Chain A
Amino acid sequence: MNKKFWMSCLTVVMMVSLLAACGGKDNQTADNTPAAGGEGEKKEEKVTFTYFNAAAGKDKNTNETTIGKIFEDQTGVNFKMEHLVGDENTKVGTFIASNDYPDVIVPGNSIDKLVGAGAFIPLNDLIDKYGPNIKRVYEPYYNLMKAEDGNIYFLPLSAVVGEYTSAPNIEQGAFWIQRRVLKEAGYPKIKTFDEYLGLIRDYVKKHPEEGLTGYLALTTQDKFFALTNAPMHLAGYPNDGGIIIDMETHVANDYADDDITKRYLQELNKLNTEGLFDKSSFVDNYDQYLAKLTSGKVLGFFDYRWQVGQSMNNLRETANASGNDDLEYMALPIVYDENIKDQYLDPPSFVNNRGVGISVSAKDPERIVKYFNNLLTDENQVLSNWGIKDETYSVDENGRFYRTEEQITQTNTEAFRESFGFKYFEYNWPRYGNGSTLPDGNSVGAGRQPEVAKMSYSEPDKKLLEAYDIDSFSQLFAAPDDRPWYPAWSIPIDQGSPAQIFTQKKSDLQRKYFPKLVLANPAEFDRIWNEYVGEFSKLDVKGYEDLITEEVAKKIANAQGQ
């Protein structure tokens, strides 16, 4: 019996070790790829580095894309790109705990952890030696980029080069209204929230039999800010992330308990009493919300364009098929009062808590810096954003870049964007920030080139623009004021710090009270509001506001080079 037992034990052990051995081999081959590249010092020799992006995407080698291949021909460098699938903190936690990093990392909100862990190498000297273009692009922002020890650990993704161009279409927040409402009212130019709600009320009154919803809100899970941000915009401030920075004193104010919030909720409460507000707003999930917008029954809502893209696409397809754009939406710069200047369009924004860093594990940072440097020429930025002339974009006799209809369709296809490399190189590398302009006046980003925007307008779009006497949809909006601290949400807040816990507690409180306030009997509104304010004032608002005020002051000082 013993013999048999031992034989079987042996088999198990062998099986296990075999498995381990098999795996071991895999391990080696896989490990070799980056290592082989790192060692070879000859400039001409091709190398492969590893690149980790804490955003989702398809893993690829850069040289498998059209753009990446060109860059490889120029520099001999290829990157094996890996994208995040699960939770970022966990993944980055394992990097740090094992002190074993990919060569290049583009983190999300874990960036402070990586910097704190000493995962990135300082780039100052390398840039001075090998990165003249990097210096040209980023030098104006050096003060904002430097860590407390004076070193630069990563290159942000939003350094604006040249003149700043606003987007021709509304990409961010706005109050949206169904076009048939505007049509019926004779395309009025409206500005205030009262006027906006007035249009909606009138329309519903005139069409009582259609089962219309006057106003809808998005509140599900991590999209709750679509509800809490609205008052900030109505009060004439851009999206600083749930906080208002005074233009004169630069003092931060959390408006969660202010009159502007109360007023917004009270208006929604009134709508609810009149039966114009969809109560399900507070229980619907994202899919249900999108479905309602797509149904054509909803007359108005506040949201950011990128959150409702799926619905907009659907409505656009339907409109294209029928030639009737009644159910499509138009963005309006709505504010509380006549004398408030709207600030929906983003000012030039330098996001200094995101970027690309080179890790301490990188064996040849010099070549990586050279690669980065090579990305930052005008030609290569055109390549990353516009592609190849006469293939993915065209140039008219005045030297203006544009895209033909086919080119637009092609460059909007996900598969093409991946194979060509737009998807990778448009954003997650050292780059000219959004709104940058080339010396010849063309926009660096194709999306901000008015010619491209115009090409994508449908016939009804054009009529609508004509009715409002504008060339592009963003012309209805006021130009953004200069805010050197913008965006305040890029102020680094340590994970797990009191400030972060405050924002979580605040959000918990709002999630609980806002539905109550909106759905309350109007007579009860003030009582519930006072209860909410009472609860809110128990939180450390002051500490949070002071922190932001202080950081904003620092940012302003840095921006002014002090």
Chain B
Amino acid sequence: MDKANPIGPAETKALREMPAESKGFFNKQRKNDTGLNTRPPSGEKSFFQKLLQQKALVFMSIPFLLWLFIFKYLPLWGWTIAFQDFKPAKKIFDQEWVGLKHFTFLFQDEHFLRVMRNTLAMSFINLVLGFVTAIVLAILLNELRNLMFKRVVQTISYLPHFISWVVAASIISTALSSDGGIINELLLWLGLIKEPILWLGEGEYFWGILGVSEVWKNVGWNTIIYLAAMTMIDPSQYEAAEIDGAGRFQRIWNITLPGLKPVFIILLIMNIGNLLESGFEPQYLLGNGMNVDYSENLDIFVLKYGIQMGNFSLSIAAGMFKTVVSFILLFTANHIAKRLGEERLF
């Protein structure tokens, strides 16, 4: 978030410096978005007329809307399970209806608030760290002059993405170990600490450890999309800037960053909708009794009381809760983006 603000004014500056024709796509959105809202007074009829006019587009959408309905919306009948004590053997109407029992179980658990705090904190840390590191790395990669070197770095930096969390967590535990783990050895060697720290035994460190681990594992992978976005920046802008005598930092600030902005905003909005999904594998694998106050998140709670107990109803209830929160966050974020005149999701 912090990062988003300074880009704002910079972007307008960049726009001013841009060749006229490419300004189009930044503004276009704002102008055209009202297509649906500003119906002529004739209303309905005009809508269908338009529909008829655009039948090519409509035909291109219909098969996929059908697909969407069948594979995504139809299974939503499953949400009824959240209000039952679901037994797979029974028909849907023979199930025992229990009202909000599973929701109450979830919300009234004494740890619910702590679980929510952990979920949001870890998500937020991952969100901020994830965006900042990916964008910075993408820019630094883009500044490399040697093409071969750039490609090698890129390929290697995304390798950890392919290591499963089980393997990654084991490497992390080893690195953090209090007997001979590299982190402790390094800090001892630098004289920053006097005796090894039990990193995973101190709850307060957990969010940080997790955030850094996520970055380590995914930063290379996350840059891919920004690198692709950079290819869309018109090289003539750089040339023009160079002629104007803009330094490297100015070029990054005024051309590269604004070029990444549309993708950044879109990803940000989507990820804000996902704030309750902080993952469960790393938390499960690195979590232990000593850091449980900081490591237990919603997904782990559901894993313990829903999935591992075969309680489908609780899992679905938790899923519904997440969906509701996601929608609220999503629409809010989208609305804010709209207000700020930024790119938006819909």
**A contacting B, Cβ–Cβ less than 8 Å:** yes
Q: A-side interface residues toward B, CB under 8 Å?
A: 1-2, 5, 9, 12-13, 87, 89-90, 93, 96-97, 99, 109-110, 113, 116-119, 219-221, 224, 279-280, 282-285, 287-288, 495-496, 500-501, 504, 508, 510-516
Asked whether B178 is an interface residue with its Cβ less than 8 Å from the other chain, the reply is yes
B232 within 8 A of A: no
CB distance from B287 to the nearest CB of A (A): 8
Q: How many A-B residue pairs have CB under 8 A?
A: 99
- Which chain B positions have C-beta within 8 A of A514? 289
Decide if B88 touches A283 in the complex (CB within 8 Å): no
B200 within 8 A of A: yes
Contact with A along B303-339 (1 / 0, CB 8 A): 0110111111010000000000000000000000000
Mask for B195-226, Cβ within 8 A of A = 1, else 0? Answer: 00011110000000000000000000000000
Distance (Å) between the CB of B308 and the closest chain A CB?
8
Residues of A with C-beta under 8 A to B312? 93
CB distance from B246 to the nearest CB of A (A): 45
Instruction: State whether A496 touches B314 (Cβ < 8 A).
Output: yes
Query: Which secondary structure dominates chain A's binding surface?
Result: helix
Q: Would you give the shortest CB distance from A472 to chain B, in whole angstroms?
A: 36
Task: From B33-41, B133-141, B166-174, B272-280, give the one contacting chain A.
Answer: B166-174
CB-based nearest B residue for A5: B56
Docked Cα-Cα span, A279 to B177, in Å, equals 11
**B-chain residues with CB within 8 Å of residue A97 when the two chains form the complex:** 88
B290 cross-chain contacts in A, Cβ below 8 A: 282-283, 515-516
Complex Cα distance A510/B56, Å?
64
Within 8 Å by CB of A9, from B63, B284, B307, lies B63
Q: Which residue of A lies closest to B110 (CB)?
A: A538
Which residues of B from 124 to 163 have beta carbons under 8 Å from A?
A: none
Q: By the criterion of a CB under 8 Å from any partner CB, how many residues of chain B are at the interface?
A: 34
Question: Out of A9, A13, A117, A219, which one reaches B59, CB within 8 Å?
Answer: A9
> Whole-angstrom distance from the CB of A104 to the nearest CB of chain B?
19
**6 nearest interchain CB pairs?**
A117-B89, A511-B289, A96-B88, A89-B310, A496-B311, A283-B200
CB–CB B310/A495 < 8 A: yes
Q: Is the CB of A496 within 8 A of B310?
A: yes
Known: A280-B179, A280-B198. 19 other contacts (CB 8 A): A2-B56, A5-B56, A13-B63, A87-B307, A113-B310, A119-B89, A219-B289, A224-B289, A280-B177, A282-B201, A282-B289, A283-B200, A283-B288, A496-B310, A496-B311, A501-B305, A504-B304, A514-B289, A516-B290
Q: Which of A87, A89, A99, A283 contacts B198 (CB 8 A)?
A: A283
Q: Chain A residues with Cβ under 8 A from B201's Cβ?
A: 279-280, 282-283, 515
> Please, could you name 30 A-B residue pairs with CB atoms under 8 Å apart, sorted by A?
A12-B63, A13-B63, A93-B88, A97-B88, A99-B89, A113-B310, A116-B87, A117-B87, A118-B89, A219-B288, A279-B178, A280-B177, A280-B179, A282-B288, A282-B290, A283-B178, A283-B199, A283-B200, A283-B201, A284-B173, A285-B173, A285-B285, A287-B170, A495-B309, A496-B310, A501-B309, A508-B292, A510-B289, A514-B289, A516-B290
Which residues from A are CB-within-8-Å of B177? 280, 284, 288
B88 contacts A117, C-beta separation under 8 Å: yes
- In the complex, chain B residues whose CB is within 8 Å of the CB of A13: 63
Q: Which residues of B contact A500 (CB under 8 A)?
A: 309
Q: Is the CB of B173 within 8 A of A283?
A: yes
Q: Are B288 and A496 in contact (CB under 8 A)?
A: no
Contact A512–B88 (Cβ < 8 Å): no
Closest residue of chain B to A110 (Cβ to Cβ) is B310
> Does A496 lie within 8 Å of B307, measured CB to CB?
no
Q: Complex Cα distance A18/B207, Å?
A: 49
CB distance from A186 to the nearest CB of B (A): 31
**B293 close to A (CB within 8 Å):** yes
Binary contact track B161-191/A, C-beta < 8 Å → 1, others 0: 0000000011001100111000000000000
| Cα separation A109 to B311 with both chains bound (whole Å) | 13
**A496 / chain B contacts, CB cutoff of 8 Å:** 309-311, 314
Residues of A within 8 A of B289 (CB): 219, 224, 282, 510-515
User: With a CB–CB cut-off of 8 A, which chain B residues contact A221?
Assistant: 284-285
How distant is the Cα of A516 from the Cα of B289 in the complex, in angstroms? 9
- Of B59, B89, B293, B314, which is within 8 A of A96 by CB? B89
Residues of A close to B199: CB separation below 8 A: 283
Q: In this complex, what residue of B is CB-closest to A211?
A: B179
Q: For the complex, give the distance between the alpha carbons of A515 and B201 in Å.
A: 9
Report chain A residues within 8 Å CB of B87: 113, 116-117
Report the Cα distance A285→B284, complex, angstroms: 11
Residues of chain B within 8 A (CB-CB) of A280 are 177-179, 198, 201
CB distance from B201 to the nearest CB of A (A): 5
A97 to B92, CA, bound (A): 10
Measured CB to CB, the closest approach of chain A to B21, in angstroms, equals: 26
Taking CB atoms, residues of chain A closer than 8 Å to B60 are 5
Closest CB of chain B to A92's CB: distance in Å? 8
Say how far A148's CB is from chain B's closest CB, in angstroms.
16
A220 to chain B, nearest CB (A): 7
A513-B288 Cα distance, complex, nearest whole Å: 11
CA of A13 to CA of B66, assembled, Å:
13
CB distance from B195 to the nearest CB of A (A): 11
Residue of A nearest to B304 (CB): A504
Tell me, rounded to whole Å, the shortest Cβ–Cβ distance linking B48 to chain A: 19
Cα distance A491–B200 when bound, in Å?
36
Query: Bound complex: CA of A408 vs CA of B198, how far in Å?
Result: 44
Q: Are A1 and B56 in contact (CB under 8 A)?
A: yes
Q: Most chain-B Cβ atoms within 10 A of its Cβ — which of A13, A113, A515?
A: A515
A224 contact set on B, CB distance < 8 A: 289
Query: How near does chain B come to A265, taking the closest CB pair, in angstroms?
Result: 13
Residue of A nearest to B285 (CB): A285
- In chain A, what residue has the closest Cβ to B290? A515
Min distance, Cβ B38 to any Cβ of chain A, angstroms: 28
Q: Which B residues are CB-close (under 8 A) to A515? A: 201, 288-290
The answer to whether B309 and A504 touch across the interface, beta carbons within 8 angstroms, is yes
